[in-house]
Amino acid sequence: MKLSELAALAADEQKAEAFLQSRGLLPRFTHCPYCKSEHLGRVRRRFYKCYRCRREWSPRKGSLLEGLRLPLGKFLLALKLFELEVSARRAARELGLAYNTVHRLFLLFRERIYQSSSQEAQLSGEIEMDESYFGGRRRGRRGRGAVGKLPVFGILERGGKVKVEVVPDVRAETLLREAIRKVRRGSLIYTDRFRSYDGLVCYGFRHERIDHGQRFANGKVYINGIEGFWSYAKERLLKYHGLSALWFPLYLKELEFRYNHRKEDLFEKLLEVLKGGMN
């Protein structure tokens, strides 16, 4: 949805409510959540009312938006600005909201993305694996911990999705455990010659390696795809100065999500993720 179209929708709270109901982010109340009566009405154009038990409730009750104190239209606009990678500080200015309000809202979006990533199916087929380091300033020796940096393990399905995970280290048992969780047995895995990948064949995977000391590709044996994701992620993370290790996994999963859906309508995908968070 274009920003101009969304702005027109967001200007009318009733239309914004109807839109969010149509996408499953707000419930359609057909009976009272307290006494189950079907004798309902709307009062003051904002609340539902049960004419049996006389109780009133917000149309946001039981939804992701229940605790959010901002108009529904501004919620939609904030989601659009998040899709467009507008910073929380700039979005706050554009929306006329406090920075902390938008920051918490963007954090909620990232948390939902993070949670949804754990529900995805295993990767299969031709797979590229690699590890990289994020953050910090000092370089360390590979496999022995880069000082001040967070190790990240990446798995890319050629023609499919990428999955990335912050890991405590890049030892064989750590990387193999992630491979078993995220990749279907029998898949063909391409890596470089890092020794932590030596045991892949013992767990039912086919395995071929490229020696980067000699060449970066040998026919179909290369890991350029996952290396391309590292470049994509690091370029976008540059704008987040001083990002803490605590929040880094959320931002990393956001980039995984954006990369995997870069050819789709990202606003609609975000609505799907937020709807899933209500289940």
What's 183's domain CATH number? Answer: 3.30.420
pLDDT tops 50 at residue 262: yes
**262 belongs to a structural domain:** no
Domain with 210 in it: 126-239
**235 belongs to a structural domain:** yes
**31 belongs to a structural domain:** no
pLDDT at 279: 45
**102 belongs to a structural domain:** no
Instruction: Tell whether the torsion through CA atoms of 174, 230, 104 and 116 is positive or negative.
Output: negative
The count of structural domains within the chain is 1
pLDDT per residue over 125-172, tens digit each? 999 999 999 986 555 555 545 667 899 999 999 999 999 999 999 999
**205 belongs to a structural domain:** yes
**151 belongs to a structural domain:** yes
pLDDT at 49: 96
pLDDT per residue over 48-85, tens digit each? 999 999 999 999 999 999 988 899 999 999 999 999 99
**36 belongs to a structural domain:** no
CB 102 within 8 A of CB 92: yes
**229 belongs to a structural domain:** yes
Q: Which of 7-16, 47-56, 141-150, 240-249 has the lowest mean pLDDT?
A: 141-150
Q: Which of 222, 249, 259 is nearest to 153 (CA)?
A: 249
pTM attached to this predicted model:
0.89
Q: Interhelix angle for 72-83 vs 99-117, to 10°?
A: 60
pLDDT tier, 106 (very low <50, low <70, confident <90, very high otherwise): very high
pLDDT tops 70 at residue 215: no
Spatial distance between the Cα atoms of 145 and 150, rounded to a whole number of angstroms: 8
